[in-house]
Structure 1
Amino acid sequence: MVKYIPGVSVAVLIALISMFLANLEFVQKTLHFSSLILAILLGVVIGNLVKFPESFKPGITFSLKKILRIAIVFLGFRLTFQNVMEVGLVGLIVDTIMLSSTFILGVWIARKWFGLEDKMAYLISSGSSICGASAVLATAPVVKAEMHHAAMAVATVTIFGTTSMFLYPVIYKAGLLPGFDDILYGIWTGATVHEVAQVVAAGFAISEPAGNTATIAKLTRVMMLAPLLLILSFYLAKKHKAHGTGVTLRDIPIPYFVFGFIAMVGFNSLNLLPSNIVSGINYIDGFLLTVAMAAMGLETNVNKIKGVGMKPIYAAAVIFLFLLFGGAICVKLISSILA
């Protein structure tokens, strides 16, 4: 374990600084950047300015892989199966339709329109369709993506998630969503905006009912990360096998941490722990996610990001427009059918 100390220490330090900055009033009210986003930005800057000795490598890799998986497992304490019931049938159907259609369409657009390689297409699509940076981090090991690809994918969901956070309330207040009330607005926001923090900001900018509905719809969408990763793993196994590469299901990194995530959701649904303990677990989990994001930044080579070019941004922009307009149409249609 001693070999991990130098690299983990750097990632932890960056995470602590990021969490401090994220709590500053200016950052909270003006930038609305979460500690995850700040951690990857600081990590990229430090990782490209400072040449760390090789002894730091094991700890950074440990933070990026092991700590990340632990954090994703305990992400389940943010959810309960009761949350799914609270959002209602309309929210559940809209979440399912938008997640699946956004992921499939996003992969197709990224590959066919912009010629991006499969790994990048999967990362951008998972980040856009589920829960932003956390989904990118969880998907990266499944598709065996390089860190500069993951960093670029995080950049795209940050850009368009932040845009959504400011744009959605303006659209609703301008009366551009006929037939929508605060609840339907909340479902639309929760089912289509990228990061949880961005959803909370966009939802509560309208009202408390809108904010609560948006948050629950978003957390229900986060829960769908587990089945998506499992389906993606089996799809990749069959794809490689069909191409004659000799890859079997056992050769594909099945994300077993996903089962831990589901187990934590189930345990949390039983309400066995006091709320203050659950809050403490969520705080520690947020810190661990921030440490993993800092490590990803440290592992990211800016020159490789430059080599990727603007195509990922263009692909993410098209996906964003689909979420914006397609999501509104989906909410209106499903709510009308089930009215």
Structure 2
Amino acid sequence: MALILGVAVASLGWIPKNINTAAVAKKLLAYSIIGLGFGIQLDQAIEASKSGIGIVVTSIFATLILGTLLTKWMGLDKKTGYLISSGTAICGGSAIAAVAPAIDAKDHQTSIALATVFVLNSVALFLFPVIGHLLEMSQHQFGVWAAIAIHDTSSVVGAAGAYGDEALITATTLKLARALWIIPVAFISALLFRQKGNKVAVPMFILFYCLAIGVAHLLPQFQQAYELIFYASKRALVLCLFLIGCGISAKRLKEAGPKPLILGVSLWLAISSGSLLYLMT
């Protein structure tokens, strides 16, 4: 909703020219991601990853490789395609927000990737429970499938919660394990997209994100404070999405054409059907 509202405001020309919304969004995104680190339960993520690490790693790198190949084949902008692939492979908007500065993506590239992922995310929230019931999937199967194939954590929790309590627990813990892959993927992305002769730009907020996870794990007595920070970070992320939306208008989306959405749908179908086939056999 925030992203769409930002696009609407930008399309109406209501953004003051003296306000650099992109610069504000970039800084706020970094702080939001650091704050979200306080909500990652390290022990739960590690425990969940023991049983699902194979399918998590395979799905992440298979999606990134397929996305790279499709981006080249379709003639889509390289960075836009990579951001869409990253969002599909790991955890939607959070992954895009983390990878974008690592590859020095432009504002419109980030905006188009976010818009693509969030459209599919909204569809998955309602579609997945229906498919799960039609296929008579177990609570555990659906929880794993939701954690692998749905982009953002919020929609994973929503879809799994609608399916059942066991599905919710499985999906949440495995999704946390998947979210941890933001860290290595951001560093790998920085290496892949670095300019010749330049050093790799290490996104400092990723290091602070790791530090936040470590602090929350080592000092559990401050759990209430962590929950408050985590909640505030999620609210800040909503504001970020509005500011990012302000950087893109309906005209710019039209100029981007249908290719970003086609790429997003193709990758989503691949990871959804592939993981579903694995779980049902």
Task: Give TM class, smaller chain.
Answer: over 0.9
Q: 1:119 aligns with which of 63, 73, 79?
A: 79
Q: Give the C-alpha shift of residue 48 in structure 1.
A: 2.4
- For residues 80 and 87 of structure 2, the distance between their equivalents in structure 1, rounded to whole angstroms, comes to 11
Deviates more, 1:321-330 or 1:43-52: 43-52
- For residues 24 and 278 of structure 2, the distance between their equivalents in structure 1, rounded to whole angstroms, comes to 39
Q: Do residues 158 (structure 1) and 118 (structure 2) align?
A: yes
| Identity percentage of aligned residues | 28
Q: Tell me the secondary structure at the aligned position of residue 205 of structure 1.
A: helix
- Which residue of the partner structure matches residue 49 of structure 1? 12
**Aligned positions, number:** 281
5+ long unaligned stretches in structure 1: 1-37, 242-246, 334-339
- Which residue of the partner structure matches residue 130 of structure 1? 90
1:84–1:92 CA contact under 8 A, matched in 2: no
- Which residue of the partner structure matches residue 322 of structure 1? 270
Following superposition of structure 1 onto structure 2, how do residues 97-116 of structure 1 map, counting pairs within 5 Å?
A: 97-112=58-73, 114-116=74-76
Instruction: Show CA shifts across 1:65-119 (max 9, x none).
Output: 211111111211111221223325222222111111112211211221x210211
1:80–1:266 CA contact under 8 A, matched in 2: no
Q: Give the C-alpha shift of residue 51 in structure 1.
A: 4.1
- Which residue of the partner structure matches residue 204 of structure 2? 256
- For residues 270 and 208 of structure 1, the distance between their equivalents in structure 2, rounded to whole angstroms, comes to 28
- Which residue of the partner structure matches residue 221 of structure 1? 178
The one of the two structures with greater contact order (alpha-carbon pairs below 8 A, sep at least 6) is 2
- For residues 76 and 287 of structure 1, the distance between their equivalents in structure 2, rounded to whole angstroms, comes to 14
- Which residue of the partner structure matches residue 30 of structure 2? 69
Q: 2:258 aligns with which of 307, 310, 319?
A: 310
- For residues 100 and 171 of structure 1, the distance between their equivalents in structure 2, rounded to whole angstroms, comes to 25
Letter in 2 for 1:39: A
Following superposition of structure 1 onto structure 2, how do residues 134-145 of structure 1 map, counting pairs within 5 Å?
A: 134-145=94-105
1:80–1:265 CA contact under 8 A, matched in 2: yes
Q: 2:240 aligns with which of 289, 292, 306?
A: 292
Q: Tell me the secondary structure at the aligned position of residue 128 of structure 1.
A: helix
Q: Do residues 277 (structure 1) and 237 (structure 2) align?
A: no
- What TM-score does the superposition give when structure 1 sets the normalisation length? 0.78
Q: Do residues 85 (structure 1) and 33 (structure 2) align?
A: no
* Aligned alpha-carbon RMSD (Å): 1.9
Q: Tell me the secondary structure at the aligned position of residue 276 of structure 1.
A: helix
Q: 1:236 aligns with which of 193, 196, 213?
A: 193
- For residues 16 and 46 of structure 2, the distance between their equivalents in structure 1, rounded to whole angstroms, comes to 51
- For residues 253 and 310 of structure 1, the distance between their equivalents in structure 2, rounded to whole angstroms, comes to 32
Larger radius of gyration: 1
- For residues 63 and 273 of structure 1, the distance between their equivalents in structure 2, rounded to whole angstroms, comes to 33
2:2–2:238 CA contact under 8 A, matched in 1: yes
1:141–1:253 CA contact under 8 A, matched in 2: no
Q: Tell me the secondary structure at the aligned position of residue 99 of structure 2.
A: helix
Assess, with a 3 A threshold, how the Cα gap between structure 1 residues 173 and 143 changes in structure 2: closer, same or farther: same
5+ long unaligned stretches in structure 2: none
Q: Do residues 193 (structure 1) and 116 (structure 2) align?
A: no
- For residues 207 and 53 of structure 1, the distance between their equivalents in structure 2, rounded to whole angstroms, comes to 47
